Chain A
Amino acid sequence: MESVLKVKGLVKRYPGFTALNGLCMNVPKGSIYGFVGKNGAGKTTLIRVVTGLQTATEGDYEIFGTSSESKDILKARRRMGAIVETPALFGGLTAKDNMKQQYLNLGLPSYDGIDEILELVGLKDTGRKKVKNFSLGMRQRLGIAVALCGKPDFLILDEPINGLDPQGIIEMRELILKLNKENGVTILISSHLLDELSRLATHYGFIDGGKIIKEMSAEELEKTTRKSTRLKVNDTQALVIALERLGVEHTIIDDNTADIFCKMDFSDLAIECAKDNCKIISAEEHDEELEGFFMSLIGGEKGE
């Protein structure tokens, strides 16, 4: 499969700290690549290196097949847009003026397309309102709009939904899916909001300790992980006795919550629970496959 970004043995050392430790990864063309890792795992450092804000200590990477060692890497970056950490915007300018600045940075011959991009991100009607008066969600969307200047083929979004309200998260998700499906933009999203990422990503890269510990597609992840049912009960100790009698695999979350890992007849479970004075308050399919898989990966690595 053709790769938009290929990273080979990337190392980034700061004094007394190694942020990237021989990281290798491939971002397939046309994918939404979920870049998953806890804080300090090296996600933002990798993004900074790839976007040219920092230089790698060792190793190299390719963007659209152009090596980072090549002088043409600057040309390859022209096909790329990025938000690194927070959107970089001029607060004293309007949304349209910020877009014009980026058009000039790119050396585009005219301002054609600015209105279309602002409409795409839902900021067409901001008029003369200055960016410093924008809400966080509006800034995030404008950040994406700036990153979309020049119609990039590859978009890097570092924690794009951090701080957004539920409505903003939904809008951001729809925007990302639209860009990927309708415009064919390959998107790398770094996030630790796994539930949200699982709704978007077609591929995953799990990073810990400055290296990728697993890369896989969403289909592979689904095959690897199990669905669980999350039970709310009045007494998990009594529930455990009932589940052990039934031979059902389970995990206790807290005093009133447990996950069970099998498809079963819940009337049978309810009868068994009643024998031990355990009341089932609620039962729902719990979509924590990505979260659970990530935790098992991190735990596995630490145990080695």
Chain B
Amino acid sequence: MNNLLASDMRRMVRSKSFIWLCIVAPAVLILSDVIMYLAARLIDIEVLIESSDLVGMFESRYAALVTALFVSCFLGHETVTGCLRNKIVCGNSRLYCFLSSCCCALPASILVHISAYLMSFVCGVIFGQGFTFDDTFFKYLGLRVASTLVLSVLFVAITYLFAGNNGAYVAGGALTSGMIIWGLDILSKLYPDDGIVKITGTKLVIYQFVDKFVPFSYPGTPVLRSPEVYVMGLAGTLVVALLMGGLILTRKDLK
């Protein structure tokens, strides 16, 4: 598998999607922070923005979305153009192709976090009023990174499931966007301002399951759950992703 990993890594650092990941994505983050700052100034000139509010304001969901878009572009291109064939035809196993792609997605998602945090700190220094980090911020940091790492493997599996058609380009990003939007609804329903949950029955069970065990919701969840819940959610998603990639992909007919 080392040969495939070397091939994928080499292509990754030369790909346009990687340049986007490294340069354009942090630039978008800075822009969003600037807009937030300007909006705050326009609404109330006296408002004080905590630097720590800026740091960590966007990076969690942003990291998942950017990772999804990167994986979709980087791997989707390989599957849609047929370049995945070159690997298989010359005797590489499909499982190794999948695992190698996962190994490429992992450092990419780490890179997203590093660049996002660095940019957020820069914005925090420029636009904020000093840092007052609490323990929660640092507790969430590991969770956010772990969530994005696991999700990156899921995105690889989803992209490979759509191998050969243009769905590979959009599936990961669409899923993430959908989960982010749905996640906002889940948060408002399960953690209402008045503290009374009004949804019942199957909807409540589904919302609680997604909130607890689907890593898309972790970065936005305001309540720090027990570590067991997070471990179960992350491990479960990882197993689903590996089963999807490892089992279904190895049987899929490629064009």
Chain A positions within 8 Å of B, measured between CB atoms, are: 48, 51-55, 74-78, 80-82, 84-86, 88-93, 97, 100-102, 104-107, 146-147, 149-150
CB–CB A80/B89 < 8 A: yes
Interface pair B85/A84, CB less than 8 Å apart: yes
Contact A105 B85 (CB under 8 A): no
Count residues of B near A (Cβ-Cβ below 8 Å): 28
**A-facing residues in B33-76 (Cβ within 8 Å):** none
- Residues in A neighbouring B81, C-beta threshold 8 A: 88-91
B-side contacts of A85, CB under 8 Å: 82, 255
Binds A, one of B10-18, B122-130, B180-188, B204-212: B10-18
Q: A55-B251, A105-B4 are in contact. Are A93 and B86 (CB under 8 A)?
A: no
CB pair A146–B254 under 8 Å, yes or no, is no
**Nearest-CB distance from B9 to chain A (Å)?**
9
Chain B interface residues (CB < 8 Å from chain A) = 2-4, 6-7, 10-11, 14-16, 77, 81-93, 251, 253-255
Do B86 and A102 touch across chains, with their CB atoms under 8 A apart?
A: yes
Q: Knowing that A48-B255, A104-B7 are A-B contacts, what are 20 other residue pairs whose CB atoms are under 8 Å apart, sorted by A's residue number?
A: A48-B254, A51-B89, A53-B253, A53-B254, A55-B251, A77-B91, A78-B90, A78-B91, A80-B89, A80-B90, A82-B85, A82-B89, A84-B82, A88-B83, A90-B77, A101-B83, A101-B86, A105-B87, A105-B92, A107-B2
Across-interface contacts of A107 in B (CB, < 8 A): 2-3
Residues of A within 8 A of B86 (CB): 88, 101-102, 105, 146
CA distance A81 to B3 in the complex (A): 17
Among A97, A105, A146, A150, which residue has the most Cβ atoms of chain B within 10 A? A105
Report the bound CA distance from A80 to B90 in whole Å: 6
What's the least CB distance linking B160 to chain A, in Å? 14
**Known A48-B254, A53-B253: A88·B91 in contact at CB below 8 Å:** no
Nearest Cβ distance between residue B159 and chain A, in whole angstroms? 16
Enumerate 8 A-B pairs (CB-CB under 8 Å) in ascending A order: A51-B88, A53-B255, A74-B92, A80-B90, A88-B82, A100-B10, A105-B86, A105-B90
State whether B85 touches A90 (Cβ < 8 A): no
Q: Quick one: given A53-B254, A107-B2, are A74 and B93 in contact (CB under 8 Å)?
A: yes
* B7 surroundings in chain A (CB, below 8 A): 101, 104-105
Q: How many Å lie between the Cα of A197 and that of B78 in the bound state?
A: 31
Residues of the B chain whose Cβ atoms lie less than 8 Å from the Cβ of A104: 3-4, 6-7, 10
A146 cross-chain contacts in B, Cβ below 8 A: 86
Could you say which residues of chain A place their CB within 8 Å of the CB of B10?
100-101, 104
Pick the most buried of A90, A100, A146, A147: most chain B CB atoms within 10 A of its CB: A90
Question: Do residues B14 and A97 form an inter-chain contact, with CB atoms below 8 A?
Answer: yes
Across the interface, name the chain A residue whose C-beta is closest to B10: A104
A80 to B91, CA, bound (A): 8
Q: Is B91 touching A76 in the complex (CB atoms < 8 A)?
A: yes
Q: CA separation between A85 and B85, bound complex, in Å?
A: 11
**How many whole Å from A24's CB to the nearest CB in chain B?**
22
Give the chain B neighbours of A52 by CB distance below 8 A: 88-89, 91
Complex: how many Å from CA A54 to CA B94? 11
Question: Looking across the interface, which residue of chain B has its beta carbon closest to that of A12?
Answer: B253
Q: Which of A100, A104, A149, A150 has the most CB of B within 10 A?
A: A104
B6, B11, B84: most-surrounded residue (chain A CB, <10 A): B11
